[in-house]
Amino acid sequence: MSSVPQDVVDRLGALDLYDPKCEGYETDGSVETALSDPPDSGDERQLEDGEIADDNEKQAKNYKRSLRRTERRKGDSNRKAEELRKAQRTTQETLAPILGVVADEIHIHMVRRDLRGLERLREREKGSGTRKPGSLTHDDVNELIKVDWMFEPGIHIGYLSEKGKEQPTIVFMVKIKPWDSLQVETRNEFQQTLQTVMDWSQCTYAIKNNAAMKSPADHAEESIVVVAPRGTMVGIGWHASMEPGKTLVNYAPADKSEDGIDEYRRLNKRLPELAELYRQEFAGLFPAGMNHMQAFSDANAVASFGDILDGDAKQRPFANSLTATLNEFCNFQHMDKDAAPVAFGMWWEAQKLHGEWTFTPDADHARTTGGGFLWGAYGAGVDFARARGLVEIYWRGQLDWHGTLVSKDQDEFTRFGTSIQLTERGVRAMRSVWDVDQLAASGHDIHQLAPKSAARITTAADRIAKAGEQRVGASVSNTMPIIDLPC
């Protein structure tokens, strides 16, 4: 894969070459301009015809040298800018056939770390004076830092130039594809598969212990300021257990009624198809990132969120969980506590009809204002409200500060956001109950694992069976005759 040459990347600052200390210049804070007239020499004696004062002559020469330096710098700046444009065009033309788009749909974003800007954002999150702690709004961000907002259709690639590396690093990739740009069959396939996520959001418990929703504190031990979380987060797949006697469990259904369990069973059967869609789209956007996730999953026997460990619908190891957010979800700038530094997700707008979230022609991102995805240290973000259709993002959750800004939904609309990750606690739980050989030998069947290991796992089938037992127990209890005992 071609990328912007390092010698060009190193000269990205060429447009900011003017030296404010150079004699004959003054600055307005961002652009240095040559003075239109030589500096005033002050009071001087009257000169005879043809006489030039030594000081005036020196100032005139300095002024001319300043003008020549200005012209040279402008010329160098223009040449370097043209070199950069050519290099980026070469990158676009090289990547276009690989990514399946035209060159003009590939957008190159050269980013730099701005830790001071990040600190300003995080201080705003923590609150001060009359401002309470809380997630950032778009107005906050635009006030505190300069942001390169992405919303145009196509593929956006974020390159970071780092010292000691010959080539810049890809730190994010974003694909924005309006629904009407897809073939009808392709669009229907996407939406039918992603419908599983929306249906799941209404049949399981909301996650209440996500730190990034409640506190602006980072991973260091600093004072924690807890705020009321905004929005809803749900999980699909496997996570470390807080249930007594269990190490690894599948996310549970909230509705234990017969209809609720039937829906839970139906959705679990659709998870392999959902996992395959995420695998396919991640590989299509950024193959290197997908390969890293796949290699880690294979080496550590990470059960896919689409693998229900029944031996029939077994899946190749993959991300252990899919997280979905909705209802004006937002969080603080943070870095994820993941087992590997790769994450991938999809975002789309939905409408609630007859009590259920679904895709409609009226549902698009403009229905939810705000809610951008921001990399605070890079001054880059996705402005969903100005984007259309399906948005896919690869990012380095474990390495880069990121977060979702405050949003506002219109009535009966919401923006769904999702991510697949290799969670640190989930992977650790899996390592404690099986290894690569054991999982492979079992055929991904819970009943073929060692009894001690199987006993520490709660599968979707276990959830369904337990709910059935509870219903039977409740039914027996309600139909037991009342016997009057003698006093």
286 lies in the same domain as 350 = yes
59 lies in the same domain as 148 = no
What's the start-to-end Cα distance of the chain, in Å? Answer: 88
Domain membership flag for residue 344? yes
Residue 315 DSSP one-character state: -
95 lies in the same domain as 151 = no
Q: What is the model's pTM?
A: 0.81
pLDDT at position 265: 97
Domain membership flag for residue 309? yes
Domain membership flag for residue 110? no
258 lies in the same domain as 365 = yes
pLDDT at position 380: 98
Which of 236, 241, 249, 243 has its CA nearest to residue 203? Answer: 236
Going residue by residue through the chain (487 aa), what tens digit of pLDDT does each one get? 444 444 434 443 333 322 333 333 333 443 333 334 444 444 545 555 555 556 677 787 788 888 888 877 777 677 777 887 888 888 899 888 888 889 999 999 999 999 999 999 999 999 977 888 999 999 999 999 999 999 999 999 999 988 888 889 999 999 999 999 999 999 999 999 999 999 999 999 999 989 999 988 664 445 567 889 999 999 999 999 999 999 999 999 999 999 999 999 999 999 999 999 999 999 999 999 999 999 999 999 999 999 999 988 789 999 999 999 999 999 999 999 999 999 999 999 999 999 999 999 999 999 999 999 999 999 999 999 999 999 999 999 999 999 999 999 999 999 999 999 999 999 999 999 999 999 999 999 999 999 999 999 999 999 999 998 887 766 544 554 544 444 3
308 lies in the same domain as 364 = yes
pLDDT at position 37: 45
pLDDT at position 52: 53
pLDDT at position 85: 80
Which of 44, 408, 422, 89 has its CA nearest to residue 230? Answer: 408
Domain membership flag for residue 260? yes
CA distances from 293 to 57, 279, 316 (A): 69, 10, 12
Measured CA to CA, the distance from residue 236 to residue 252 in angstroms comes to 9
198 lies in the same domain as 341 = yes
Domain membership flag for residue 487? no
pLDDT at position 48: 56
* Structural domain of 59: 1-13+51-100
Domain membership flag for residue 24? no
193 lies in the same domain as 67 = no
Torsion over CA: 94, 100, 106, 112 (sign)? negative
Domain membership flag for residue 78? yes
285 lies in the same domain as 413 = yes
Cβ neighbors of 249 (< 8 A, separation 6 or more) are 238, 239, 240, 241, 243, 457, 458
152 lies in the same domain as 59 = no
Residues paired with residue 426 on neighbouring β-strands, in sequence order = none
DSSP string computed for 469-487? HHHHHHHHHHHPPP-PPP-
284 lies in the same domain as 334 = yes
Tally of domains in the chain? 2
Domain membership flag for residue 161? yes
80 lies in the same domain as 165 = no
460 lies in the same domain as 356 = yes
Q: What is the dihedral of CA 283, 288, 292, 298, to 10 degrees?
A: 50
pLDDT at position 443: 93
- Domain containing 437 — which CATH number? 3.60.130
Burial class for 352, CB neighbours closer than 10 Å (0-12, 13-18, 19+): middle
pLDDT at position 7: 47
